Amino acid sequence: MSRITLSAGPIARARNGVIGKDGRLPWRLKSDLAIFRAVTMGKPVIMGRKTWESLPKKPLVVRTNIVLSRDGSFEPQGAVACEDFSEAVQIAREQAEEDGRDEICVIGGASLFELALSRARRLYLTEVEAEVEGDVRLSAIDESRWREVRREAHPASEQDQYPFVFRVLERL
């Protein structure tokens, strides 16, 4: 097995599974963005084309950004385009190896997260303690195959619209 861990997330979901609305995040959670940044910093990240488009600042800095699209002519500036998930994982692994990193992260959206879930050894999940409206949802995760190794509760505050729990799970 490779010494480089494939991780699903970090990804944040509401109680009703919602992760996105109108091509954006459906909440303002500054502390969760800080966690996202800390977890992914320096590591290759894989994302879908719509998540790429949703980024206010592209690419995510100090991370190799790998963007999946079935459109062979798609050329994201400052990122690597890829048409196949397994190939994206391979590119990310090679980049991590070159950079001396031990993890690659699949950061969404919904279909990529689900593709990653079946292969990932680690899962970073922010549980947003709210039901929110949106147009992109994650399916329920079968947690019987995972064990929680970290859990941090964050209250709502001026900078965080809802309370949330940041969780790290590892495959059993």
Which residues of the chain form contacts with ligand NAP (CB under 6 A)? 11-12, 19-20, 23-25, 47-51, 54, 68-71, 74, 83-85, 107-112, 136
**Nearest alpha-carbon partner for 53 in 109, 111, 105, 112:** 109
Question: Of 4 and 76, which CB lies nearer to ligand NAP in the complex structure?
Answer: 76
Asked if residues 104 and 92 have their Cβ atoms less than 8 Å apart, the reply is yes
Task: Report the residue number whose CB is nearest to ligand NAP.
Answer: 109
Contact 80, 58 (CB under 8 A): no
- One-letter amino acid at 41 equals M
- Output the smallest distance, CB 140 to ligand NAP, in A: 16
CB nearer ligand NAP, residue 98 or residue 136: 136
State the nearest-atom distance from the C-beta of 115 to ligand NAP, in Å: 6
For the bound state, the minimum distance from the C-beta of residue 157 to ligand NAP, rounded and expressed in Å, comes to 19
- Annotate 74-87 with b (16+ C-beta within 10 A) or e (fewer): eebeebbbbeebee
Identity of the residue, 50 or 167, whose beta carbon is nearer to ligand NAP in the bound complex? 50
